[in-house]
Amino acid sequence: MSRFDLAIAIGGAAGQGIATPGDILARIFVRRGLHLNAYNAYQSIIRGGHIFLTLRTSDQPVLSFGDNIDILIPLNQDTMNRHLRLMKAGSAVLYNSDKIKPTTVAEGVQLCPFSVKELAPALKGDLVQNTIALGVVLRLIGVEFKILEDILFYQFKRKGDAAIAENVGVARAGYDHAGAHFKPFPFVLPDTGRKLAFFEGNQALAMGGAAAGVRFYCAYPMSPASGVLHWMARHGRQLGIMVRQVEDEIGVINMAIGAAHTGCRAMCATSGGGFALMSEALGSAAMMEIPVVCINVQRAGPATGVPTKTEQGDLLQVMGAGQGDYPRIIVAPTTIPDCFKTVPQLFNLVDKFQCPGIVISDLLLSEGRASVDAAELDFNVPIDRGEVIGLNGAALPPDDGYKRYQITASGISPRALPGTPGYVHVVATDEHDQEGVLISDEFTSANKRQAIHEKRMRKMEGVMPLLEPPGMFGPVDAEVTLIGWGSTQGVIREAVQKLGDEEGIVANHLQIKWLVPLHAEAIVSILSRSKKTIIVENNYSGQFARYLRSETSIVADGHIRKYDGEPFMPHHIVDGVKAILAGATRKYVPVHEIMV
C-alpha cells in the first residue's frame, strides 16, 4: 500500500489571517487520524513581511515539513511571485483572482482562481478569501463539507450566529465553486481511526514540566521560548503551579533557584540572549548544589540576532555558561514528543545529583507543531527527588551536626530543605567546606578547596549510567553515516530514506541527545564501523563537530551546515551528501530556496 502524503502551504503577510485556516486544516487532518508536521516561517514584525506556513500530513509519521508543496494558497501577490515558479506538475494553486495574478507556471500545475467579488459580493475584507480557500481545498482533497461546517461553528461561535452563518456560507460557495470548475486530486483524504494529539514543542516542554511535578515557573518573554510561558500562564492555576513573569532574565534564574532551594521543582525558559544573563546564576546553583532546570530555545544570533528564525548556535554557550568547572546536565530533545518525555527525566537527574539541568531546543522544534499519539503522553511519570532528608517525615540530625556538603564517594550529599527541624546549614556562592562555611572566612585552604571541588565534579560519574546511549538508525554497512544532534533528527532520517530510494546511496544515521555528559565511548564504538561520516548542524562554525572532536578525537569526513535562519529540508542534506561523496567539497552549505 502506497503512502499518503500531502503538503499544503499558505503564504501572505502578517495580519492576513494565515494561522486560522492553518489551524482548521490541522484539526481536520488530526481528526482523521493523520500524522502532521507544521512549520511557520515568519518575520519579527507585527504587520507586513512574508509568512509561509507549511502543513504536511500523512498516514505515516511525518519526519519533517518536506521538500514539495502540493497545494499553494497565496493570499497576496508577493507569495504568488515567490512560490509559483517552484510548484511542480500535479500540484494546485488556489488564489483570489480579483487581486492576485499568476506568474510563470510549470506544465501540469493546476491554477484554481476564484473571485471573492463573485462568491461573496456582500462581504468585505481580506479574510474572506481565506474562508473561500478552505472550501476549495476540502473539495479538491475529497472531504465532505459537513466537517468544515462543524469546525467553523466552534471556531466562530463566540462571535454569534451571524458570524457562523456568514463563514459557513462563504466556505460553501468556495466548496461548490471548486466542484464546478477544478479537477480534484486523485484521492480521498483517508481516515485511519487513530486518536492523535497536535501541539507545538513549547507546549510539550511545558506539559513535561507539569508531568515532572513543577510547582514554580518563571520567565521573561523572549521568542521563541515564550510559548512555554503562555501554556504555564493558561494552565498553571489549575495545576497548582505558581507562574511569574519577571522583569528580566537575571531575576528569572535567581527566582527559580530560590524556589528550588525551598524544595519545589522549579523551571524557567528563555532564548540565547536571555540565557547569557543567566550564566553566573547557573554556576551559583551548582556551587550551592541546588537542582533547577533552564530551557534555552535557540534562535539565530549573535545578540538579538534574528528573533523569529532558527539556529543551533548556542551549544558552546550552554556548555560554557558560568565561570569555572561545575557539574551540569545538558540535553537536546530530538522530537516534539521527546520534549515532553525529556523534562521529567531531566528533573529526576538534577534532583538526584543536585545540579543545574539545561534543555537546549530551537525554534524549529519549539514552535514547530506535530501530531502525537495520545498514548505517548503519560503524565504518571516516576518521580525521584534524590536524597532529601525528611521528605517523607523528619529524621534526626547526626550527632556531630549536619554537613550539607558532606564529602561522599558518589559526590552526592544528603540534602535538607530549609525548615527541616534540626538541620541548619549555610548556603552561599563562595567556595565552602562540608558545613557550608566559606573557606575564605578562615583562610583559603587549598586542601579544602580541592576536596570539595572534586566532590562536586564526582557527581557527574554517576550520571552517565542513567542515560540511554545513542543508537544507529539504518543499515550497519552503510556507505555514509550522517551525524546530528537535537532537532535535526527528523529531517536527517527522511534524507537517509531519500538517499536510498532515489539516489541508490545507502546511509545510516546517529543522533545525539545527551550532550553533557557525552557518551564518548559509545559514540567511538559506533562510528568506528562507519565508512564515511558527515555531520549535519544548523550553525556556521560546526559547534558540535568541534565538541565531538574534543571529546572523542573523531574528525568527520564532511560537514553540511546551514545558518540562514531556515531549517534544513531533506533535499539539502541529500544534495550535500552527493557533493561530499563526489569529492566536490568537504563542507556543503545549501542555499535556501525562496519557498520559505
Domain boundaries in the chain?
Answer: 5-181, 198-376, 472-588
Rounded to whole angstroms, the Cα distance separating 121 from 166 reads 12
**What would the grid cell of residue 458 be?**
564526582
**What pLDDT score does 123 carry?**
83
Rounded to whole angstroms, the Cα distance separating 295 from 282 reads 12
**What pLDDT score does 156 carry?**
87
5-181 and 472-588: same fold?
A: no
Q: What pTM value is reported for the model? A: 0.96
Rounded to whole angstroms, the Cα distance separating 338 from 370 reads 12
Residues of the chain under the 70 pLDDT cut: 1-2, 392-396, 442, 593-596
Pairing mode, if any, of strands 48-58 and 5-14?
Answer: antiparallel
Per the DSSP assignment, residues forming a β-bridge with 242 are: 216
**What pLDDT score does 1 carry?**
52
Rounded to whole angstroms, the Cα distance separating 215 from 266 reads 6
**What pLDDT score does 594 carry?**
56
Q: Which of 69, 18, 72 is nearest to 48 (CA)?
A: 18
Q: Which CATH number fits domain 472-588: 3.40.630.190, 3.40.50.920, 3.40.50.720, 3.40.190.80?
A: 3.40.50.920
CATH fold label, 198-376: Rossmann fold (3.40.50)
Pairing mode, if any, of strands 214-219 and 265-270?
Answer: parallel
Alpha helices by DSSP H, listed for 354-445, are 363-366, 439-442
Q: Which of 527, 544, 540 is nearest to 484 (CA)?
A: 544
Report yes or no: 535 and 556 within 8 Å, Cβ to Cβ. Answer: yes
Rounded to whole angstroms, the Cα distance separating 351 from 383 reads 10
Contacts of 380 (CB under 8 A, 6+ apart): none
Q: Which residue has the cell 504568488?
A: 80
**What pLDDT score does 2 carry?**
67
Say which CATH superfamily domain 5-181 falls into: Pyruvate-ferredoxin oxidoreductase, PFOR, domain III (3.40.920.10)
pLDDT tens figures, 310-353? 999 999 999 999 999 999 999 999 999 999 999 999 999 999 99
- Measured CA to CA in angstroms, residue 363 lies from 55, 217, 238, 490, 541 at distances of 16, 20, 28, 15, 19
Q: Which of 335, 333, 334 is nearest to 343 (CA)?
A: 333
**What would the grid cell of residue 251 be?**
531575576
Alpha helices by DSSP H, listed for 40-191, are 77-83, 116-119, 128-140, 145-156, 161-181
Q: Within a 13 Å sphere around the CA of 454, how many CA atoms are in the beta-carbon half?
A: 9
**What pLDDT score does 592 carry?**
75
**CB-count burial class (<10 Å; 0-12, 13-18, 19+) for 550:** exposed
Rounded to whole angstroms, the Cα distance separating 457 from 310 reads 33
**What pLDDT score does 596 carry?**
45
